[in-house]
Amino acid sequence: MEQKGTQVLETRRLMLRPWRESDAEMAFANWMADPAVTRFLTWTPHGDIGLTRARLRQREEECKRPNVYHWAIVWKDGDILIGDIEAGTIDEYQQTGNLGYCLSKAWWGRGIMTEALTEVLRYCFEEVGVERIDGSHAAENIGSGRVMEKCGLRYEGTRRKGFRLPSNGQWVDIVCRGILREDYFQGENP
């Protein structure tokens, strides 16, 4: 494996690039304050843009580290910041990424996260050379499960009451998924 960090990536409609503190205005306006987006997430909507700025300042620094894989999702046509995708911090020895993603609600249902995740998996397996990518989601978060499934992450089990949602205090079952290097290359010689 070769740590390459958060390099700029491109797909047909999207650019994935490192985070900047100056993304705060668009990120706050487009999803970071929206409870519909954070419903199943580990964080609650930002009450003021100062919090967004602080988080993104930290993220901008993290994105400079060679073992951090965390992109802002930009809609190329018009240069609009619409979401976030990460494979986390990849440990040199474990060689495993851990997925997280979210998208501004106005952009849901157009195949955007599938397009972004397909490219992140390509980069992680083909260029970085990881062994495995983990994904997990609340069982009720059908859309997120579908994105992972479409991108080849296999079902590996369910942790009953695996997480307590900050959004409403309820415990939810967590579906665990994963894709291995050999699943990704399927018989090719990686």
62 vs 115, beta carbon nearer ligand COA: 115
Is residue 190 near ligand COA by the rule CB under 6 A? Answer: no
Nearest of 151, 163, 160 to residue 120 by alpha carbon: 151
Minimum gap (Å) between residue 88 Cβ and ligand COA? 13
Nearest of 29, 40, 72 to residue 143 by alpha carbon: 40
| Angle at the Cα of 91 from the Cα atoms of 43 and 144, rounded to 5 degrees | 40
Please give the single-letter amino acid code of residue 29: A
CA distance 184 to 153: 9
Is residue 132 near ligand COA by the rule CB under 6 A? Answer: no
Candidates 96, 114, 118, 167: give the one binding ligand COA (CB under 6 A): 114
Minimum gap (Å) between residue 65 Cβ and ligand COA? 23
- Nearest residue by C-beta to ligand COA? 143
Minimum gap (Å) between residue 146 Cβ and ligand COA? 3
**CB of 53 within 8 A of CB of 24?**
yes
Q: Enumerate binding residues for ligand COA (CB under 6 A).
A: 37, 40-41, 101-103, 108-114, 137, 141-144, 146-147
